[in-house]
Amino acid sequence: MEKIKVGQGDLVQMNWDPISRIIGNLGVYTKIDFKNGQVGECKVTSSLFRGYSVFMKGKDPRDANFITSRICGICGDNHATCSVYAQNMAYGIKPPPLADWMVNLGEAAEFMFDHTLFQDNLVFVDFCEQMVKETNPSLLAKAEQTAAPHAELHGFRTIADIMRAFNPFEGSVYKEALQIGRLTREMCCLMEGRHVHPSTLYAGGVGTVATPQLFTDYQVRLLNLLDFVKKAVPLNDDLFDFFYEALPGYEEVGRRRIQLACWGSFQNPRVVDYRYANMNDWGRSMFVTPGVIVDGKALTNNLVDINLGMRILLGSSFYDDWNAEETLVTHDPLGNPVDQRHPWNQTTLPHPQKRNFDGGNYSWVMSPRWFDPQSGEMLPLETGGGPLARLWSTALAGLVDTPYVKATGSSVRIQLPRSANLPETEFEWKVPQWCNTIERDRARMYFVAYAAAMALYFIDQAMNEIRAGNTRTFTDFAVPEEGLGVGFHEAVRGCLSHHLVIRDGKIANYHPYPPTCWNSSSTDSDGVPGPMEEAVTNTPIFEENGQDGFKGIDIMRTVRSFDPCLPCGVHMYLGGGKVLKESHVPMMGMVGRAKRP
Amino acid sequence: MKKEESIRTGKPKVKPTALTHVRGVRCGNKPGSYEKEPGHQPDGRSNARRSTGINAEARNPILPEMPNLSPA
């Protein structure tokens, strides 16, 4: 096995490329100090070039939402929605209120679907009995002896029982989550016509015919879901609290400085007019408040500041600089100067080359940063997997106040009404002490409860429109010869923006910036690592396997806490030409596992 | 696969790079489209004509103060 000596510790190279149970193009290259039990270095790389910003040029802007939806196979509707927001701004239109309520309902269903699937079917495989037995047998023994504090709510007596319920293909939570996935996708289809690439969502509104039955169909499914959510939140809390208790110091796994980004979600149709000039007002009235959180404090909740602060650095990516290219937007509609490194002015110039981790380029992901005008820093913001930033920003802002969800300034209170088997329940997500692996994962199920509670509110509002006879769901528009638009939204795994420039009635520039661009960004030209790289670096190793049987479970938990998505195989490179290839079906190899030395 | 084994298809009429929206084709988003939609009223409400073209007026509510909620 190859050993690389750096400083005093012996660092062993350990690489995972691609990572399984996420979208299949992410590689994590680490150097681990087994003597001191921590990760010494980490580089995160993507070997896949997509090129949406290249081939969108010259297309009809009305096609943008249908094309960009294909960016992702799991949160495509988030992209479609974000694109629609950008187009609404560029065309100068505002959809009827009912259309915005319906989009909110579709997106709430998407959040519930995707978070449940990712948490229970993908993330929890890292916390299941089978995995813990292989990586931390003494922890499993302790879990067998530890009573679950909320056993009366979720029905699992011990923490080990919870872990057993996460076992892939067999565990009860794993199987129930698949059922919930079906239910929530149906809800999304009701509002947006199709999941995951919506067919009835477009600039100016939705094509879904709004009838009372549409909303009751949605509501029936939502109420069926509530029992699951009421059990899932305390079940998640029991498991994560156990990890803190049983493994002292586990809070350091995946921990980094708090630098969170949330671009806001769920428009408020009473306020939003999609005009750039009023963007701060309608941004702050969103039902998930946008914000940049640094060191536990909100730097801003203004979408205009957020927009102008965006900088796309080349970092260690395979692209050429666009400094000499045309500046399409010198000033925003308010007269503020727009930087050449802003997405509106970006020209993507791909330059494929050999991967070089020693001070060279190694990834297709650029380095989006947010320029903090106060400190002058280029901040490597992360999304905390999505829910952590959303809840944190919403909690601190204290602006969301609905019958079901209330932000208090330090927490978010979520009220769920009585459902089939369980009484009225209140959850409170409190701003945590750390931004780490466990808190990223914990926030996820709270956000499912948040989305469910908001959906109840959106149904009420949509039904009010219907009862008043306001059934209009779309508005006419003409595509302007010249236009400028930006959409701010939340993809399931975090902040999402689409920047659009129209010239001669066609797309002159289009730049989607999805959350994983921020999370898995490469080390920038100032040597600042991307969020995922920083979170893995210095992570302590709690795994009981030695160097030879090392699975990297703590690293995998950290990477997956950011919620990259979808499965493939694993090839583990141990250095010195020794390669362990392990191919298996998506879930940890319960079935069809094939090992080769 | 050899040429003779492949499935016989016609010549493609559209290039993969063609735009979805072609000049001359009616656009649903065009200003004035809403007014042309049967059953959709200028004030944002709708009536039974939205759902059916067959004897639609007879399917409206029997009293004017009742909400007019036609099926999909």
pLDDT tens-digit readout, A149-208: 999 999 999 999 999 999 999 999 999 999 999 999 999 999 999 999 999 999 999 999
Torsions phi, psi for A393 (to 5 deg): -65, -45
Whether residue A248 is predicted with pLDDT greater than 50 in this model: the reply is yes
pLDDT tens-place string over residues A537-561: 989 999 999 888 899 999 999 999 9
pLDDT band at A578 (very low <50, low <70, confident <90, very high): low
pLDDT band at A498 (very low <50, low <70, confident <90, very high): very high
- Dist CA B57 CA B70 (whole Å): 11
Give me the half-sphere count of Cα atoms (radius 13 Å) on the Cβ side of residue A419: 22
Residue closest to A280 by CA, chosen among A395, A370, A447, A399: A399
Partners of residue A477 in chain B, C-beta under 8 Å: 29, 31
Residue B6 DSSP SS3: coil
Distance to chain B for A7, nearest Cα, Å: 55
Residue A235 DSSP SS3: helix
Residue closest to A106 by CA, chosen among A180, A222, A188, A211: A188
Tokens read off for A218: 């949605």
A3-6/A26-33 β-pairing: unpaired
Partners of residue B21 in chain A, C-beta under 8 Å: 60, 62-63
Give the nearest partner residue to A60 out of B20, B45, B46, using CB atoms: B20
Partners of residue B46 in chain A, C-beta under 8 Å: 469, 471-472
- Dist CA B60 CA A281 (whole Å): 41
What rounded mean pLDDT belongs to chain A? 91
Distance to chain B for A60, nearest Cα, Å: 7
Partners of residue B20 in chain A, C-beta under 8 Å: 60, 62-63, 66
Distance to chain A for B2, nearest Cα, Å: 31
**Lowest-confidence region among A67-71, A227-231, A393-397:** A67-71
Tokens 């009742």, residue located: B66
A63 touches chain B (CB under 8 A): yes
Q: Where are the beta strands (DSSP E) in A240-352?
A: 259-262, 291-294, 297-300, 310-313
Tokens 């380095």, residue located: A367
Q: What is the pLDDT of residue A590?
A: 47
- Whether B70 sits inside 8 A of A214 (CB atoms) is no
B25 touches chain A (CB under 8 A): no
- Dist CA A499 CA A79 (whole Å): 12
**Lowest-confidence region among A5-9, A29-33, A236-240, A249-253:** A5-9
Tokens 């408020």, residue located: A268
Find the closest chain A residue to B46 by CA distance.
A471
Residue closest to A280 by CA, chosen among A249, A263, A301: A301
Summarize the confidence of residues A581-594 as an average pLDDT.
47
Give the nearest partner residue to B30 out of A468, A471, A476, using CB atoms: A476
Tokens 């949160």, residue located: A75
Summarize the confidence of residues A521-538 as an average pLDDT.
92
Radius of gyration of chain B measured on its C-alpha atoms: 22
C-beta separation of A502 from A214 below 8 A: no
Whether residue A340 is predicted with pLDDT greater than 70 in this model: the reply is yes
Give the nearest partner residue to A204 out of B20, B29, B70, using CB atoms: B29
Q: What is the pLDDT of residue A297?
A: 96
Tokens read off for A548: 């030879």
- CA A242, A250, A429, A452 dihedral sign is negative
How does A194-227 read in b/e, with b if 16+ C-beta sit within 10 Å?
ebbbbebbbbbbbbbbbbeebbeebbebbbebbe
pLDDT band at A5 (very low <50, low <70, confident <90, very high): very low
- Dist CA A51 CA A512 (whole Å): 10
Report long-range pairs for A134-140 (Cβ below 8 Å, ≥24 apart): A134/A545, A134/A551, A135/A543, A135/A544, A135/A545, A135/A551, A135/A553, A136/A247, A136/A542, A136/A543, A136/A544, A136/A553, A137/A544, A138/A544, A139/A246, A139/A247, A139/A544
Q: Which of A471, A479, A506 to mutate to test the interface with B (most CBs of B within 10 A)?
A: A471
Whether residue A24 is predicted with pLDDT greater than 70 in this model: the reply is no
Q: Which of A59, A215, A472 to mutate to test the interface with B (most CBs of B within 10 A)?
A: A472
A478 touches chain B (CB under 8 A): yes
Tokens read off for B5: 């084994």
C-beta separation of A13 from A22 below 8 A: no
Partners of residue A63 in chain B, C-beta under 8 Å: 19-21
Q: What is the pLDDT of residue A21?
A: 54
Residue A182 DSSP SS3: helix
Q: Element (H or E) spanning A411, and its range?
A: strand A411-416
Give the nearest partner residue to A469 out of B21, B45, B71, using CB atoms: B45
Peptide bond into A18 cis (omega under 30): yes
ipTM: 0.79
Count of positions (residues) in chain B: 72
Summarize the confidence of residues A496-521 as an average pLDDT.
93
Residue A257 DSSP SS3: coil
Q: What is the pLDDT of residue A568?
A: 27
Residue A339 DSSP SS3: coil
C-beta separation of B51 from A191 below 8 A: no
Tokens 């879930």, residue located: A587
Give the nearest partner residue to B31 out of A214, A466, A478, using CB atoms: A478
Residue closest to A573 by CA, chosen among A129, A183, A19: A19
pLDDT band at A1 (very low <50, low <70, confident <90, very high): very low
Give the nearest partner residue to B29 out of A62, A213, A468, using CB atoms: A62
Q: How far is CA A7 from the centre of its chain?
A: 36
pLDDT tens-place string over residues B3-53: 556 777 788 787 766 766 777 878 889 999 999 999 999 999 999 999 999
Longest dimension (CA), chain A: 74
Partners of residue A60 in chain B, C-beta under 8 Å: 19-21
Q: What is the pLDDT of residue A26?
A: 83
Q: What phi-psi label fits residue A324: left (phi over 0), alpha (psi between -120 and 50 degrees) or beta?
A: alpha
C-beta separation of A236 from A429 below 8 A: no
Whether residue A375 is predicted with pLDDT greater than 60 in this model: the reply is yes
Q: What is the pLDDT of residue A573?
A: 42
A297-300/A310-313 β-pairing: unpaired
